[in-house]
Structure 1
Amino acid sequence: MLGGASVNADASTLVYGSNDYTRINPAMDEHGEINILIFNGLTAHDGDNQVVPGLAKSWEFDEDTCTYTFHLEEGVKWHDGEDFTANDVKFTIEAIMDPDNGSENAPNYEDVEEIDVIDDYTISFKLDAPNVAFLDYMTMAVLPEHLLEGEDMQESDFFRHPIGTGPYKLTEWDEGQAIILDKNEDYFKGEPNIDEVIFKIVTDDNAKALQMDSGELDLALLTPKDAQNFTDKEGYTCYDMKTSDYRGILFNFNNDYWTENKDIIPAICYGIDREAIVQAVLLGEGMPAYGPLQRNIYNDENVEHYDYNPEKAKEILESVGCTIGDDGFYYRNGEKLGFVISVGAGDQVRVDIAQAAAQQLKEIGIDVTVEVPAQVDWGGQMAYLIGWGSPFDADDHTYKVFGTDKGANYSGYSNALVDQYLTEARQSDDPEVRKEAYAKFQEELAKDPAYAFICYIDANYVAKSSIQGIDEETIMGHHGVGIFWNITEWTIEE
């Protein structure tokens, strides 16, 4: 028994070590590994992170009117047996765009001027400005209008009992224990091979490794230190997968501290030994970070990397009027220079990165401490050990993260030039224009840092060797999300 559900001995079951979920709401929340099993978008991403058909079998773009027209698959059923139609698509995107719903994903669709349901299986989106990443954003999970119309898109009980069109149906949710999914035998892209997928809730990294070792789990994303213990262990396969997932220190510009001390941020950037953190915390499974696009074709390697330079950091501090005290820390206007980095609970790697950076900054005279609050205070905290990154179009996780007042801009960062360059880049389909715009964006972000970028982390998945079909070449996204992109093709060998 697991989470109150009995497992058919003849059925193939995959048990995945998952973080906890309070809801499954892909329209409002940006991340969720489970979404791709339950839902579909109009488009999807393949193993090379390129756009391919999903619920839309084809589409065309009219440049003159800036209109995308999608032709939808017919005969697709929701998990409750109702028909999927274009009205569901219109409902979903309009719900995301509605400012009253507070969706993190709203900036992706802010260019949408009009949505027209032409018939049950044809829908068009007229944009008021070009958005070259629009097809990427149409991977958004489509939700059923017949179950959500009139519901609160943040609080509806639907998000505890989600119904999708995807390859797996949610059949049971034992809170804090397990989410149980059974295969959708009528899946429009073909019946999955694995009968049942169980997201077993294991929030502690050490417990996850122990349960992987004991055989309770079949697949898990482990810390680098835990994953290395499985390298030579019989019956297990380690997948050390590249990601676009970076870590850095987010400065909360809504906090008065940074209004008064923004000029010390370059010193903080120079005071972090990124390579040492990659080696000590990630065991070399990652790389130093200097910007948000290092896994993207539009990355500019020529921007300031802020390579570790403690002497330069001290020079900057002294140039802005800070003086060293007898205790080895810098002071400004009689106040000790320092701040607190908050880290979300349950992510030991982030805690270790934050503590390593804090120790390095103490060594140059900035009194930095780390705390792990039960609840993150986005408005009041001083700094946060942030993680972002997208393996898709460069617009993803830049425009909405660094653009003024955008949905995922949790730092309160605002820079008019950054806004200008990101807008120019998203509105052009000319690679040279985009390259120049993103180069200017990265240069400006280096001059006026929103974050102190620290490292990119690899995704260290460990699986029982009986699981076949995992694509280890795919670049993973934030939180290592993406491994399930081809779950329907996986098999479990006896």
Structure 2
Amino acid sequence: MLTYRGTGSIALSAALAALLQVSLPAAAADTVFTGAFDVGPQGNPQKFNPLTASAGFGFYNKYFNTLTLYDPAFQKISGDLAESWSFSKDGKSFTIKLRKGVHWHDGAPFTAADVKFTLGLIKDPDMASVFAVRFADVVNIRVADEHTVVLELLNMDASLPDALTNVMMLPNHLLSKFTAKELRTSDWWKSPVGTGPFKWNKYVPDQYVELLANPDYFRGKPKINRLVNRYFKDSSSAAIALAAGEINYSYLTQDQIRDGAGKNVQVISGQSMVLNYIGLNNQDPRFKDVRVRQALLYAIDRAAIVKNIYKGSAVASNCVLSSPKYIPQDANSYDMNLSKAKALLEEAGWSKLNHGEPLELLTYYSDQLSKDVVASLQVMFGQIGVTVKPRFVDAPTYGQIVDAGKFSMVFAGAGNGPDPASLMPLLHSSYAPPKGVNRMRVRIPELDKLFDAGQAETDDGKRNDIYKQLCRITNQQLPWIPLWVANRYGGYTKNVTNFVWTPSPGGGRYQDSPENWTLR
């Protein structure tokens, strides 16, 4: 009988196995998927509180879960941590049944108390959550039992399932000791505990975050051992790293695709669900007359910009909504018409309103394609006698300027997802600053009524009709000057399989099934 003592070597162990004709299991491969998850408009680099974020959800949902999520085509909402949900007949309550057998990364069970705690934080003014407005009609959050939560409502809100796709659930047992104000900027976010497919392992500032596979994930242990979110100074650096095979995934710009960044990778494209628009300060007396707003849109050759700058990878929009099912047949297409634009400005008395002063066009877009768009807009407005002076700033500076109302015009984008109610905080008069994010100070009573009606209607057909009328009103009144919805791009290395990615506002809100991603 052969015996073996001591630690020895792998080679000796293999030799012994051969002698004994015993098969030893292969050492598990340490598969590491590295992505630039916070590059581009999808990202929120090194900001880890998901309740105050407006982007970054593509990485947040690798370690947190939401109650609901869309499918990758953004056609249907399904349960994530929620198993089912329903409204009462009178529309005054919304009951959520939770998935059983889910545990936090520290082993504690996920329960209804966690849902109540998280939604309570959303509504707490000290958290200053960007999603608070979506839960304005929730007047009470009640735990019915360990796996049932009831939201008591002031008014029926059919958009709640959509709103919940934004909200990462948080552990009550770990965070209830904090006040909302303390938690908002707490260091807890730099070593959080979630329920997601991966759990937090390491954060190296300015370099990366490393997550480990969660062996107890309710959908099964991920096939990748480690998931790394690597930080880059800019998207060009990330594109170079992707092309070199240093990382497995990154957001890509159209410029980068054109310059060959996608040559050695698998490129995915799709509509961004973000409406690019020119926003006007609706409190500025120069823009009060709808004829001025119409003239500005008639001056823009959107077809030429889509063809020559976007290379056909954008679709013009004629109202604030872009989904075809909401577009009425009688919507004005506003094809470029310089003579009509000039006539409208003259009728509105533009020369007396503006006195020849240049209009500052503020934007937070800094990529070359956007700079080309802004330069084109500058020329097109000049053709009707409107002088525009571009100003490029970073996103925080942009936010400060528009929140203070110290702007004339902006070139911006707004998430235009599958549920039009998501635009309500941006266009309803009750959400003008400082209360909300209706930063263009839109105040159209009929628009307010339509948003309210859409939120209260549960019948899909009737709801579609409401939003068609909403589209029609914004097409006529132009509270924003709608431009287009452009494609966005992602790229991943060819050794990646089962990878799911689609462009989306904020970079997430859909089932991307990272537990199934694999590396060949």
TM-score by length of 2: 0.84
Q: 1:345 to 1:163 in 2, by over 3 A?
A: farther
2:489 is aligned with what amino acid?
A: N
- The alignment partner of 2:420 has SS state of coil
How far the C-alpha of 1:279 sits from its partner, in A, is 2.2
Partner of 2:239: 209
Q: Does 1:416 align with 2:436?
A: no
Match among 99, 103, 116 for residue 90 of structure 1: 116
Kept in 1, the 8 Å contact 2:360–2:408? The answer is yes
Q: 1:195 to 1:228 in 2, by over 3 A?
A: farther
Q: Does 1:340 align with 2:340?
A: no
Match among 64, 68, 90 for residue 39 of structure 1: 64
Q: Does 1:23 align with 2:47?
A: yes
CA distance in 2, matches of 1:261, 1:306: 17
- The alignment partner of 2:410 has SS state of strand
How far the C-alpha of 1:116 sits from its partner, in A, is 0.9
Partner of 2:373: 353
Kept in 2, the 8 Å contact 1:129–1:427? The answer is yes
- The alignment partner of 1:357 has SS state of helix
Correspondence 1:182-201 to 2 at 5 A: 182-201=212-231
- The alignment partner of 1:138 has SS state of helix
Match among 142, 151, 160 for residue 190 of structure 2: 160
Kept in 1, the 8 Å contact 2:275–2:322? The answer is no
CA distance in 2, matches of 1:259, 1:276: 25
CA distance in 2, matches of 1:426, 1:84: 30
Partner of 1:280: 308
Q: Does 1:181 align with 2:211?
A: yes
Q: Does 1:486 align with 2:509?
A: no
Match among 343, 368, 379 for residue 315 of structure 1: 343
Cα RMSD for the two superposed structures: 2.6
Q: Does 1:111 align with 2:111?
A: no
Higher Rg? 2
Match among 382, 386, 394 for residue 412 of structure 2: 386
Q: Does 1:237 align with 2:257?
A: no
Worse overlay, 20-29 or 359-368: 20-29
How far the C-alpha of 1:145 sits from its partner, in A, is 2.3
Match among 388, 404, 407 for residue 368 of structure 1: 388
Q: 1:479 to 1:279 in 2, by over 3 A?
A: farther
Correspondence 1:131-142 to 2 at 5 A: 131-139=157-165, 140-142=167-169
- The alignment partner of 2:229 has SS state of strand
Q: 1:243 to 1:28 in 2, by over 3 A?
A: same
- The C-alpha deviation readout for 1:464-489, integer Å capped at 9, x for no partner, is 111122346x5x32255467722222
Partner of 1:224: 254
Q: 1:310 to 1:197 in 2, by over 3 A?
A: farther
1:239 is aligned with what amino acid?
A: I
Kept in 2, the 8 Å contact 1:170–1:180? The answer is yes
2:473 is aligned with what amino acid?
A: E
- The C-alpha deviation readout for 1:313-332, integer Å capped at 9, x for no partner, is 1111111123xxxxxxxx43
- The C-alpha deviation readout for 1:26-54, integer Å capped at 9, x for no partner, is 22223223222121112222223211111
How far the C-alpha of 1:251 sits from its partner, in A, is 1.7
Match among 327, 333, 338 for residue 299 of structure 1: 327
> Structure 1 or 2: larger helix share?
2
CA distance in 2, matches of 1:160, 1:470: 26
Q: Does 1:268 align with 2:288?
A: no
Partner of 2:494: 465
Q: 1:386 to 1:481 in 2, by over 3 A?
A: farther
What runs of 5+ residues in structure 2 fail to find an aligned partner? 1-27
Partner of 2:23: none
Partner of 2:10: none
CA distance in 2, matches of 1:291, 1:447: 8
2:30 is aligned with what amino acid?
A: D
Kept in 2, the 8 Å contact 1:84–1:144? The answer is yes
- The C-alpha deviation readout for 1:352-407, integer Å capped at 9, x for no partner, is 333322222123221112111242222223222221224332222x2122111333
1:112 is aligned with what amino acid?
A: V
Kept in 1, the 8 Å contact 2:281–2:287? The answer is no
CA distance in 1, matches of 2:282, 2:203: 39
CA distance in 2, matches of 1:431, 1:57: 22
Partner of 1:143: 170
- The C-alpha deviation readout for 1:170-214, integer Å capped at 9, x for no partner, is 322333332222222211121122222222222423323322222
Worse overlay, 43-52 or 449-458: 43-52
CA distance in 2, matches of 1:345, 1:146: 41
- The C-alpha deviation readout for 1:261-309, integer Å capped at 9, x for no partner, is 7652221111111122222322211211222322253333432232222
CA distance in 2, matches of 1:411, 1:390: 16
1:306 is aligned with what amino acid?
A: Y
How far the C-alpha of 1:134 sits from its partner, in A, is 1.4
Percent identity between matched residues is 25
TM-score by length of 1: 0.88
How far the C-alpha of 1:148 sits from its partner, in A, is 3.0
